[in-house]
Structure 1
Amino acid sequence: METHFHQQLQKLRLKVLEMAAHSQTAIETAVRALQHRDADAARSVIAGDKLINTIECEIDELSFRLLALDQPMAVDLRIIVAIMRASMHLERVGDEAVNIAEAAMFLASRPPLPEMPSLNELSTHAVAMFRKAVVAFRESDAGLALELRVLDKRCNQLDVQVLRELMDYMSRESPAVERSVHTILVSRSLERVGDLSTNVGETVMFIVEGLNIKHNFQINSGGACG
């Protein structure tokens, strides 16, 4: 028979998935607003961030209550700690979506920069990574969680590529400096979404395997970090 504690733990997990869904909508909408120069979509992302913050507070409150009243041990304690970590990363994805949306509003009111395939690829890659992170958390999929560590390298490469391209463009087109700087900040936010997706994957590994892989990528066949 399921105890009250485990009912509350399931409620906590569902709250995190609710938050993940809102954060995913935010980053997808922010990228779409950027690509389509849609200021209204950008404004909806900014307005929706309050809900993500509210859910994070609810998760924290429920987590602290479970820790204080039930004093969980072993696996249950590990799950609560990991959920609190995941919640923090999900909230930050929402923040990065707001940053992108604000830049999208600025850029939508000004002449467009030349097409940037590297930025488009970074946008697609970062959003795909976050979707994978959400699936990994929902399904407790350690294999998918580990994939995120590899995928994040491409985000980093693309961020550097965008920076180089825009630095070169600014050196030739000084009137485009302000727009280019905003676009560089968008690229940096997308790179952070990749990092945060990887962090969510790390919490999945902590829940499923009891492993802290934050500072060590290699895992040997015995299940230990190496």
Structure 2
Amino acid sequence: MEQRAHFSKKLEDLKVKVLRMAALSESAVHKAAKAFLENDSDLAEEVILGDNVINELEDDLDNFSLELLALDQPMAVDLRTIVGGQRITVNLERLGDEAVNLAHRAMFLSTRPPLPHNPKMELLASTAKKMLSNALKAYVDEDVALAGQVCRMDDKADDLNIAILRQFVSDMVTESRIVERGVHAIIGARHLERIADLATNVAESTVFIVEGTSMKHNCKE
């Protein structure tokens, strides 16, 4: 009984570590999106400089998870909790990377005249942030229904990204002066769409932890 209580405490510690990393990754995404939409170079630089902390937390979580797997040899839901946590950790690190990529676009665009207001870009950023917030809440609450909602929102992010691409291509054909800025904006939209994809991955991992079902490539069904 004492051994089981000790292991349960380790699983709780694992979740706390994942959530600590999640908070930093989510903050980085929010800051990067704001920097990108508002051409805020100072905020973009803050995101870039903070990425090392997220990377260090990933290393710590990797080591912690491997120890749990090697020493405690968990089964069933405990094993899924550890493996699913590892999957989420990988995606949280990638979210940090995408935030940095988006911040670099913000840094560049901050040195150029602002592009016209683009409601679709704002909506894509809002959608990606909402998906990430819901995915993390689903993990905390072990809420499979909410995880499914995140998956279904991914189509909206994809459609917005395509619409933004088409709009900028059309604008660049008629106005050559915005080509350079337009290309960076298109790439920025791709980073936002990728953030939505990674949020979907987190949601899939939550379903795996709770139900033992692999939702890879089938999350929207």
- TM-score bucket of the superposed structures, by smaller chain: over 0.9
| Distance across 2 between alignment mates of 1:211 and 1:6 | 22
Structure 2 counterpart of 1:88? 90
Structure 2: gaps of 5 or more residues: none
Structure 2 counterpart of 1:9? 11
Pick one of 175, 178, 181 that aligns with 2:177. 175
Cα shift at 1:35: 1.9
Change (3 A) 1:135 1:210: same
CA contact (8 A) 2:148 2:220 kept: no
Deviations 1:37-95 (A, max 9, x none): 21110000001111111101110000001111111111111111100000001111111
Pick one of 183, 208, 211 that aligns with 2:210. 208
> 1:91-170 residue pairs with structure 2 within 5 A?
91-170=93-172
Structure 2 counterpart of 1:21? 23
| Distance across 2 between alignment mates of 1:88 and 1:108 | 30
Deviations 1:106-158 (A, max 9, x none): 00110111111111110111111111111111111111001011111000000
Structure 1: gaps of 5 or more residues: 220-226
Q: Which AA in structure 2 matches 1:71?
A: Q
| Distance across 2 between alignment mates of 1:130 and 1:54 | 21
SS in structure 1 opposite 2:97?
A: helix
Cα shift at 1:216: 2.3
User: What TM-score comes out, normalization by structure 2 length?
Assistant: 0.96
| Distance across 2 between alignment mates of 1:10 and 1:205 | 18
User: What TM-score comes out, normalization by structure 1 length?
Assistant: 0.94
Question: How many matched pairs?
Answer: 219
Q: CA RMSD in A?
A: 1.2
Cα shift at 1:12: 0.9
| Distance across 2 between alignment mates of 1:40 and 1:106 | 12
CA contact (8 A) 2:32 2:103 kept: yes
| Distance across 1 between alignment mates of 2:218 and 2:116 | 39
Cα shift at 1:19: 0.6
Structure 2 counterpart of 1:66? 68
Cα shift at 1:175: 2.1
| Distance across 1 between alignment mates of 2:44 and 2:217 | 35
SS in structure 1 opposite 2:89?
A: helix
Cα shift at 1:218: 6.6
